[in-house]
Every structure is written in structure tokens, then in C-alpha cells.
Amino acid sequence: MSRVLLVSASMGGGHDAVAAELARRLRAAGHSTRTADVLALLPPPLGAGVRAFYRTTVRHFPVVYGGIYAAFFRGRDDGRGPSSAPLADLARERLAAVVAEMRADVVVPVFHLAAQLTGRMRADGSLGVPSAVVVTDFAVHRQWLHPGNDLHLCLTADAADEVRRRAGRPAVVSGPLVSDRFRAPRSAAGRRGPAPDGGETVLVSAGAWGVGSGLEATARLLRGAGYLPVVACGRDERLRRRLSRHPGVRALGWVDDMPGLLAAASVVVDNAAGQTALEALARGVPVVGYRPIPGHGADGVRRMAALGLSDYARGPWELVQCADRLTAQGAARQRRVAAGLALFERPGAVAPLEALAAGRPPGTPAVSAG
């Protein structure tokens, strides 16, 4: 049995969902886990400030966030550009204390700031156990990459190849970490949701924070095209109330039963290529990227489409065309459903972590397959 410390970040809900699913799989394989929030490891109140700054810029000043992303996340991998490493360093003492208290055998960052932290600590010897980074993005930016980390677990072969090329470090394909609650039975995978009087249901996702540009215009566009737009507003109650004023638009607050909501949808309109998009693919629901949030969202949406996992609508007319094509039971829908489901046929994340904790090369599993 190994002791695995997961290092997540309370930024929206996606990273915590990944950490929770990985912890569940590890425990099912007989290992013990603990999850730490890298923002909570920072000196207070710095972590809360980082989260508030990110949320504010993405929601209200997307151009500013786009500039930050271009400077800190794209570009050089040689350490000469701006880096989040100085911020990560402020959490090293608290992380070292958690590792020692737990007597962890391996540390697993599932957020890029945590990956910078563990990479630097491994490089200078202050972290004495291996670290394996779970890369949650389709498009790998440079803050995921630090040569000190021992292993990267990636969504796709494309991402793993990029990690190996840019960081010169081992990378394996583990596929998405999505709860089995989202996996549709094969007999139901790809089946369209029910078609009420309002037309086929199109789920518009705004993430846990209700982030996105032109959400009202998108809902009105879909309604005008004959669809029933259901907008998942996350925890943004003001957005939910605003959208609820539009006839023919269903606006939801925080949803506990996302598997059920996805089961009723024919198509998902997504702006971040994050966990909701992966959950839709697991359920066999086609995804259309539209009006992506800046930075990692835009890069991820484009990369998903380039890999054939989704469609990317660059304007209102294209969005309607994509919805028309993907709600029809034809080859386009079947192709997208099959490509999405194939992501979940990967070996999994548990076996590479077992090998790393045991000092074996990645890809030499112990007992479980994760």
C-alpha cells in the first residue's frame, strides 16, 4: 500500500473534481490518500487573493487575463520568461510539513502552480519522494512543465508527446479522470436527450463560477434556432436570475446531478475545454466549443477540435450549424461520440503512480489497473 498526497487548487471546481476521482481510484486499489489545496498552503490571505484575482480578471477583464496568460503560460520553456515559481516557493514549507506528517510515498499535483512547487522542491532535494503531475489541460502550457518532476500523466498522446518534447521528462497517457457516474451504458452512449416541446436540449456550460462572454446572446440564438437552451450558471446567482428573464431559456444554479443533466442534453456548448467537456464526452454527448474564455480556455477548445474530439464554432452561424449537425443521428454525431468515448479506454492513472511509488519505470503496473 502506498501513501499518496494529492495537491489540488480550489479554482472553480475542475481540479478538485479530478483530485477527488483520482483519490477514489487509489483508495479502491488499496492505497491511502490525502488532498491538500495549494492555495491553502500559501501564507494567508495570499491564496484567497490569488483565487479572487483570477476569478475577477477572467470574468470582468478577460483581455487582462489573456495578456497574463500570454506572458506567463505561453512561450519559452527554458525558465527565462515570467514564472509562477516565486509564488509557488511560498508554499514549500507547508507542503514539506504535510509530506512529512503523512509520510507520503508520492506527491501528485493536479494544478500547474502545485507542479511548479513540487518540481522546484524535487530539483533542490527538499522533496525526497517522487512527484507525478496530472496535466488536466488538452493544451499543455509551460507552467505545467518543470524538469524536476518525475512523471506527467496526460489526457492524450498528443499532450504526452508535447511534455516529453518540451520538458524532456517522462510522460504517459492516462486519459481523463472522470467519475463512473458520468459513463453511459454502451446501449445509451451517444443517444440524444429527450426532445421536449421546446426542441432538442442544448446545455450551455459556464463552469462553477458562471464565467463566459455573451451567454445571454448564446441562449437567445439557440432558442431562436429552435433549441431549448439550458444554461448551467454554477454559483453565479445573478447570472441565473438574468437569464431566467428570457422566454424559452432555462437557467440553472449549482447542479448536484450533472450526470442526469448531461443525460438529458443532445449537445453541450462549452467555453473552457475543462471538466464539464470531459464529463460530456464520457456520457457520449457531443461538445461544441464556442466563445471560449481567454488563455487556457481558448487554447484548450482549439486543441480539442484539432484532435477531432469536438467542434469549434467561430461565430453564431457556425454554432447553429454545429448544433443542427450534431443533434441529427448521422455520421457527424457518431464520429464525435466515438472519438470522445475512446479517450476513456486508456490504461488509467493508478498503475503509473504505483510504479513510481515502487521505484519502477512508468508503465510497469503492480496489481491494479486504475
Instruction: Give the containing element (helix H, strand E) for 312.
Output: strand 311-313
Domains and CATH numbers, the chain: 3-175+346-357 (3.40.50.11930), 181-344 (3.40.50.2000)
The band of 369, judged by pLDDT with boundaries at 50, 70 and 90, is very low
Residue 76 has pLDDT above 80, yes or no: no
- Cα distance between residue 330 and residue 310, in whole Å: 15
pLDDT for the residue 365: 44
Q: Which residue has the cell 503531475?
A: 133
Q: For residue 368, what pLDDT band results from cuts at 50, 70 and 90?
A: very low
| 185: number of Cβ within 10 Å | 8
β-bridge pairing 3-8 and 151-154:
unpaired
Cell of 84: 509562477
Q: What mean pLDDT do residues 100-129 have?
A: 97
Cα(171)–Cα(122) distance, integer angstroms: 17
| Contact between residue 274 and residue 245 where contact means Cβ atoms under 8 Å apart | no
pLDDT value of residue 184: 73
If pLDDT is split at 50, 70 and 90, which confidence band does 81 have? low
What percentage of residues in the chain have a pLDDT greater than 90?
82
The verdict on pTM exceeding 0.95 is: no
CA distances to 202, 231, 253, 270 from 221, rounded to whole Å, are: 11, 13, 21, 15
pLDDT tens track for 33-50: 999 999 999 999 999 999
C-alpha cell read off for 217: 446572446
Q: How confident is the model at residue 367 (pLDDT cuts 50, 70, 90)?
A: very low
Task: In whole angstroms, give the CA distance from residue 213 to residue 294.
Answer: 10
For residue 210, count CB atoms less than 10 angstroms from its CB and return exposed for 0-12, middle for 13-18, buried for 19 or more.
Answer: buried
Distance CA(336)–CA(309), nearest Å, equals 6
Q: What is the pLDDT of residue 347?
A: 81
Q: Per-residue pLDDT averaged across 292-305, rounded?
A: 94
Indicate if the pLDDT at residue 23 is higher than 60. yes
Amino acid at 342: A
For 301-346, the pLDDT digits (tens) are 999 999 999 999 999 999 999 999 999 989 999 999 999 999 999 8
Q: How far apart are CA 86 and CA 331, in angstroms?
A: 50
**Least trusted range by pLDDT, from 8-12, 176-180, 362-366:** 362-366
In the structure grid, which three cell numbers stand for residue 274, read together? 475543462
